[in-house]
Structure 1
Amino acid sequence: MSEKSNWFGQPRGLTILFLTNMWEQFSYFGMRALLVYYMTTTMLFGQEKASSIYGFYTAFAYFTPIIGGTIADRWLGKRRAVIIGAAIMAAGHFMMAFQPAFYFALATIALGNGLFLPTLPSQINDLYKADDPRRPWAYNVYYVGVNLGAFLAPLICGFLGESYGWHWGFGAAGVGMLAGLVIYVWGQPYLPVERNEAEPVLPASKQTHRGRDTVLLLLGIGLAVTIFRGAYEQIGNTFALWMRDDVDRVIGGVEIGAAMFFSLNPLLVMVMTPLLLARWKKQAEQGRELSPTQKMACGALIVAASYLLIAGAEAFSGGGRAHWLWLLTYFVIFTLGELYILPNGLGVFARLAPPKLGATTVASWYLAIFSGSLLAGQVGRLWSHLGHIQFFVLLAAIASAAAVMLYLLDRPTRRILAQAQQSGVVDLTDVPEGIARPQNA
């Protein structure tokens, strides 16, 4: 591939893909930043009902990719799945501007997400030849571009929603999704031609044994991530309420809207990712790098520490409003934990995916997000029944339990990944760390 066909040292198709997903992230996080506030103020839902709806919506949005990935692999193909999914999501975001269409709009967004989410990043590998030295870093470039959308969303949609009305914020999210669709359609000439890959054939006994072990491993990791998500997903649920009601957000004499603080998470992802990758690279050169599940366990413990910090902030404030510096420190610790656990979890699923079932296997990662979001909705109902200190300590305990489970899964994970590499089914250099939705992902 000639240099003239490249942008920023990478194939032009990579720029098209990350700009498409950047605007999808803008729409998703823009809407999510407003959802709980909209339900509790305009629709006058109680906190428990709002938390349950938030949990069911995020769960459904991550359940549909399991079906959408299968449809894309077997019938539609990746390109058509992305185009159809993006169009459906754009329609759903615009429906959010009309209160009577609230539930139908949420369902529409989730359905479109099912086709879009597992199929767009799975096109990255096809942009490169197998020996292209740029290939291992492609996901890192893509991930930073994606997080730009998540960073801008709370600033723009949050500002419009809190200053001019929630429907303006939802409408801006719809415009963002439409922009992503236009970019993807315009960039078709730069995207890879879909190809059918042949799966390596192994002896039947090895296929059965390794297949069973792999399924059990992914189920175990999925269960641990489900429990972790019960605490993690509170960031857009009960934590959003704490941020609005119990934090002094006055900076330089100006009160900053609560929704705008959500931009800290993707901003910190963009800042911290290259630093963390450099640290892991140095550790690998010295033979001290942690395994994927060890990193995931550390990430869960770090997130637990972030919630213990907020429990301390509540105790320190003595019933008053906590200083915004507590909030900033929380986001730094929380984001660090996220970068340890979520990209590595998706990386394990992607590495063990059969070549012809890439979107389907990656989509199965979202099953853990689905079940974890359901759990988070129910955990969030306790916000009205527990003191805030006790609630945040509970979240820390939930995240710590997930860390213990992940640590216990470390040995079988390393064994199965090594077997997969030796059999030639996967190349562990093809899926670097760092391909998860922030948050969200």
Structure 2
Amino acid sequence: MSDVTAAGPDALHEKAWFGQPRGLTILFLTQMWEIFSYYGMRTLLVYYMTKQLLFAQEKSSLIYGTYTAMAYFTPILGGVIADRWLGKRRAVVIGASVMAVGHFMMAFEPLFFVALATIALGNGLFLPSLPSQINDLYRPGDARRGRAYNVYYVGINVGGFLAPLVCGTLGELYGWHYGFGAAGVGMFIGLLIYLVGQRYLPAEPAKKNPAASIGETSGHRTSRVWLLLLGVGIAVTIFRGAYEQIGNTLPLWTDVGVDRVVGTFSIPMTWFLSLNPLLVIAMTPLLLAHWRRRADTGRDLPPARKMAMGALIVAAAYLLLAGVAALSGSGGASWLWLVAFFVVLTFGELYILPTGLGLFARLAPPRLGATTVASWFLAVFSGSLLAGIVGTLWSRIDPPAFFSLLAVLAVLAAVGLRLLERPLTAAAAASDITQGER
């Protein structure tokens, strides 16, 4: 064989984009198109239910929250299946294929609920198996590994930026089915990129007896790690109960509470949803350079502290929105305030979400990489479910009070993460030593 994987571990550490291994670019592009398809469909989902299917707002919010929750619950089973039987690569291919079918099914109104279930099932195999391959690209202790998840997060947000502009515009202006169909095309492109680029990805270890793998990961340290990850998961659940409103209730406020007129042109609501990923793309290189300078001088922040800071910044973003909603007149708030909100929120997001994903991958017990990463998405599941429940309050309280409630949730998450900082830092250091010995 002449591919990079067969050439040995050193070949995987060739520098490419942002000084990272080539395999990261393949994972980056695959995830980018998967996110394009997921967010392209999600951008239209609440609009489609309320305007085409004529569901009530409360029902639409619960369906939205339940769907996004299930899309992040199925990875728990998918991660176990990938680690024990399929392997990460095969799980990605099967999961991506199933999701592509589900997205195309969304173009047919009678298949609405079946399509949602199909996408969620495919996502179960795909979602934990792709990012869990990032950790395998690096040697233990490689300083680039932590920043790699921020680079990967840029890929997620490139897809998230394009999705509302393409799928949202097609669905909103030309017909829902065109938007859903474009999401299916995006998923298919991501699958092709992964198939072509597999030679740049790390070889998978031979499968062992599942019982033997369990034995390898037993003991006091592993139990302590799982308890710490549970604590982080609870904090992230609370955080996402607030954060996920940007795709749930925030579009409803943008539609009726924001003055979107510029001259004679009214900015489509879905365009504002592209601001968040666009800002991620713009801010990430600057933030990575800042973190790299801090790391070079020995002042790098522990992951838990970064995450707590991010949650507090997001709380500030929602307080800003609460003030704007309270002070805006009958004509609605200027769209510039909405832009300012997304700038602050995105800055906080970059501190907490990619850092959390990287922390879970770093603390993964041996041979349970996909399962541990899947447990990160379990927090996304519970947070999405909480967001759906919180979203039902939108019709019962006024916007300033609702946005203030979201700020309180983000502050509670920050407090929980700060309390976990010391044990998490110790666990991460111990994990690096263990990986270096294997």
Q: Same fold, TM exceeding 0.5?
A: yes
Deviations for 1:162-195, whole angstroms, at most 9, x for unmatched residues?
1101111111001111111122223334433322
Cα distance in 2, alignment partners of residues 24 and 14 from structure 1: 15
Show the counterpart of 2:313.
302
Show the counterpart of 1:72.
82
Cα distance in 2, alignment partners of residues 221 and 134 from structure 1: 23
CA RMSD for the aligned pairs? 2.5
Q: Is the 8 A contact 2:69 2:383 kept in 1?
A: yes
Show the counterpart of 1:55.
65
Aligned-pair CA distance for 1:143: 3.2
User: What residue ranges of structure 2 are gaps of 5+ in the alignment?
Assistant: 1-9
Q: Which of 161, 164, 187 is residue 151 of structure 1 equivalent to?
A: 161
Q: 1:133 to 1:214 in 2, by over 3 A?
A: closer
SS at match of 2:358: helix
Q: Which of 248, 252, 268 is residue 257 of structure 1 equivalent to?
A: 268
TM-score when normalising by structure 2: 0.89
Q: 1:132 to 1:280 in 2, by over 3 A?
A: closer
Q: Which of 379, 382, 391 is residue 380 of structure 1 equivalent to?
A: 391
TM-score when normalising by structure 1: 0.89
Q: 1:136 to 1:364 in 2, by over 3 A?
A: closer
Aligned-partner residue type, residue 360 of structure 2: F
Show the counterpart of 2:250.
239
Q: Which of 413, 418, 421 is residue 402 of structure 1 equivalent to?
A: 413
Deviations for 1:31-71, whole angstroms, at most 9, x for unmatched residues?
11111111111111111111101100010000011110110
Show the counterpart of 2:279.
268
Show the counterpart of 1:84.
94
Cα distance in 2, alignment partners of residues 126 and 216 from structure 1: 24
Q: Which of 348, 352, 377 is residue 363 of structure 2 equivalent to?
A: 352
Q: 1:281 to 1:187 in 2, by over 3 A?
A: closer
Show the counterpart of 2:381.
370
Show the counterpart of 2:7.
none
Q: Is the 8 A contact 2:146 2:355 kept in 1?
A: no
Q: Which of 38, 42, 46 is residue 52 of structure 2 equivalent to?
A: 42
Show the counterpart of 2:238.
227
Cα distance in 2, alignment partners of residues 329 and 175 from structure 1: 33
Q: 1:404 to 1:13 in 2, by over 3 A?
A: closer
What pairs up with 1:22-41 in 2 under 5 angstroms?
22-41=32-51
Identical positions, percent:
66
Aligned-pair CA distance for 1:76: 0.9
Q: 1:2 to 1:218 in 2, by over 3 A?
A: closer
SS at match of 1:195: coil
Structure 1 residue 180 corresponds to structure 2 residue 187: no
Q: Which of 109, 124, 128 is residue 114 of structure 1 equivalent to?
A: 124
Structure 1 residue 411 corresponds to structure 2 residue 422: yes
Aligned-pair CA distance for 1:235: 0.7
What pairs up with 1:80-229 in 2 under 5 angstroms?
80-127=90-137, 138-196=148-206, 208-229=219-240
Q: 1:393 to 1:319 in 2, by over 3 A?
A: farther
Q: Is the 8 A contact 1:88 1:109 kept in 2?
A: yes
User: What residue ranges of structure 1 are gaps of 5+ in the alignment?
Assistant: 428-441
Aligned-partner residue type, residue 31 of structure 2: N
SS at match of 1:117: helix
Q: 1:34 to 1:331 in 2, by over 3 A?
A: same
Cα distance in 2, alignment partners of residues 352 and 100 from structure 1: 44
Q: Is the 8 A contact 2:149 2:355 kept in 1?
A: no
Deviations for 1:379-430, whole angstroms, at most 9, x for unmatched residues?
10000000111111111111111111111111221222233334x2369xxx
SS at match of 2:128: coil
Per mean C-alpha deviation after superposition, the further-off stretch among 246-255 and 163-172 is 246-255
Aligned-partner residue type, residue 28 of structure 1: Y
Q: What is the aligned residue count? A: 420
Aligned-pair CA distance for 1:341: 1.0
Show the counterpart of 1:327.
338
Cα distance in 2, alignment partners of residues 192 and 239 from structure 1: 40
Aligned-partner residue type, residue 195 of structure 2: V
Aligned-pair CA distance for 1:375: 0.8
Cα distance in 1, alignment partners of residues 286 and 161 from structure 2: 18
Cα distance in 2, alignment partners of residues 292 and 159 from structure 1: 38
Cα distance in 2, alignment partners of residues 426 and 325 from structure 1: 50
Cα distance in 2, alignment partners of residues 15 and 283 from structure 1: 25
Cα distance in 2, alignment partners of residues 398 and 370 from structure 1: 17
Cα distance in 1, alignment partners of residues 296 and 201 from structure 2: 34
Cα distance in 1, alignment partners of residues 50 and 203 from structure 2: 47
Q: Is the 8 A contact 1:352 1:426 kept in 2?
A: no
SS at match of 2:202: coil
Q: 1:126 to 1:211 in 2, by over 3 A?
A: closer
Q: Which of 339, 343, 347 is residue 350 of structure 2 equivalent to?
A: 339
Aligned-pair CA distance for 1:137: 5.6
Deviations for 1:347-381, whole angstroms, at most 9, x for unmatched residues?
22111102311000011111111111111111100
